[in-house]
Amino acid sequence: DDESVYTEDVSAFMGQTRMNQEEIIDMARQLKDRLCAIGFKDDLFSIEGEPQVEGPFDVKNGHVPYAKVSWGKDIFGEWSNNAGICLCGDYHGPAENYFEVEINTDKKQIVSFLVKPTLENFAKHFQKDLPRELILDISEKPETETEYTQRIFGKRYPIIGQNIHVTETYSNAVLKIMLPRVTELAKKLELPIELPITEDQVKEFKINQYGYIGGGLILKNGWQFAIDTTRIGRHYSLCVFSPNRFFAKEDSWENLNRYYGTNKMTETEIIEYSKDIARRLGLAELMKGRKRPNEMEGPIKPSGKIKKEIPHTSIQWIATGGEPYYFLTLEFNTETKDIEQVNLSLSEPLFEYDLVMGNTEDKDLYPETEAAYRARIQKEKEAN
């Protein structure tokens, strides 16, 4: 897949688009002809119809001139030799060839391609030896994993992603950094919380145990915040939960009376208000042109166990093709406009907070890993 939009350092891929869509598609078709000329069989390709084209992309602070042209469906799973049917869980259809070409439209270069034929066509092709004349010109030497880690994570790279031995000193140092960030988030969202948020307001703090300067905290007034990362797909998260949220709260259906009220917003007003919240979170450019959310639930009408109207709505905005990754879930009260929940997962180019602080001079932010701690304790025991 096109990794250029989701990379840790998207600036390395910035440039200008110097090809129109017709030229992009034509370059991809020419690659197919070149592959066939050096021995790849025509059976491997099905490019008679119109292809899918993704990119180039406008991203935060610039433009990524990469485009992906593809024919067919890129399907994962097992194939039935007899019926030619994909046996993966979410797709059932006839087998077909898949051909993908990624192009740098600034340099007018092909940077990668993928040929994924059906089993039947795969077998037809490999009745003869693989062509050996195809040579890919790699213009830049790729970084090793160690080089990449050192560049991204600075002096703290040995502990990033490792299980940390959490001490009170380390936890307090991270909390000290977290509180101004949470205060800033609460201020942007205009939450009904006394600001700035201080240690005296904190009931519980659960630190990120893998070296990132983040975690989740619960305030004494019931509000919950998280600024964190799972590092799955290089995604980060911002979370805000009100004690009055309705959706995704375990006991909400047992206390329906506390949520009853009167909806005072039209559907258009609800959508625009959700976009305003997204803009406060730094997604202003990505909200331009978006008309409807991906999902919308509520306000909830009386039905069954629900005797009166519940003026709460839950809305999801999800990145469209070619955008930096984001997945935003919002809940707010459509009677008071109070924000009750924000759950935002997003990629690093959109993330405002430094969860690495790779070159900080604060010695309290260089804890031992759990493995190093255990080894040190064991060594001390043996010495005694």
Residues 198 and 291 grouped into a single domain: yes
Q: Which domain holds residue 59?
A: 4-142
Residues 262 and 366 grouped into a single domain: yes
**Exposed e or buried b per residue across 137-159, where buried means at least 16 C-beta atoms within 10 angstroms of its C-beta:** eeeeeeeeeeeebeebbeebbeb
Look at residue 380 and tell me if it is in a domain. Answer: no
- Longest Cα separation, the chain: 77
Confidence of residue 236 (pLDDT cuts 50, 70, 90): confident
Look at residue 313 and tell me if it is in a domain. Answer: yes
Residues 223 and 343 grouped into a single domain: yes
Residues 138 and 157 grouped into a single domain: no
Look at residue 174 and tell me if it is in a domain. Answer: yes
Confidence of residue 59 (pLDDT cuts 50, 70, 90): confident
Q: What is the predicted pLDDT for the residue at 301?
A: 94
Q: What is the predicted pLDDT for the residue at 29?
A: 87
Residues 192 and 220 grouped into a single domain: yes
Averaged pLDDT for residues 162-182: 95
Q: What would the pLDDT profile of 309-321 be if each residue is shown by its tens digit?
A: 999 999 999 988 7
Look at residue 340 and tell me if it is in a domain. Answer: yes
Q: What is the predicted pLDDT for the residue at 72?
A: 80
More confident residue, 63 or 11: 63
Look at residue 65 and tell me if it is in a domain. Answer: yes
Residues 136 and 159 grouped into a single domain: no
Q: Among 99, 123, 142, which residue terminates a domain?
A: 142
Residues 356 and 321 grouped into a single domain: yes
Q: What would the pLDDT profile of 194-235 be if each residue is shown by its tens digit?
A: 999 999 999 999 999 999 999 999 999 999 999 998 665 567
Walk across the sheet containing 109-116 and list its strands: 52-54, 66-71, 98-104, 109-116
Q: Among 142, 167, 192, which residue terminates a domain?
A: 142
The structural domain count of the chain equals 2
Q: What would the pLDDT profile of 16-53 be if each residue is shown by its tens digit?
A: 899 998 899 989 888 888 888 887 777 777 766 778 89
Is the pLDDT assigned to residue 135 strictly greater than 50? no
Residues 92 and 215 grouped into a single domain: no
Residues 272 and 250 grouped into a single domain: yes
Look at residue 375 and tell me if it is in a domain. Answer: no
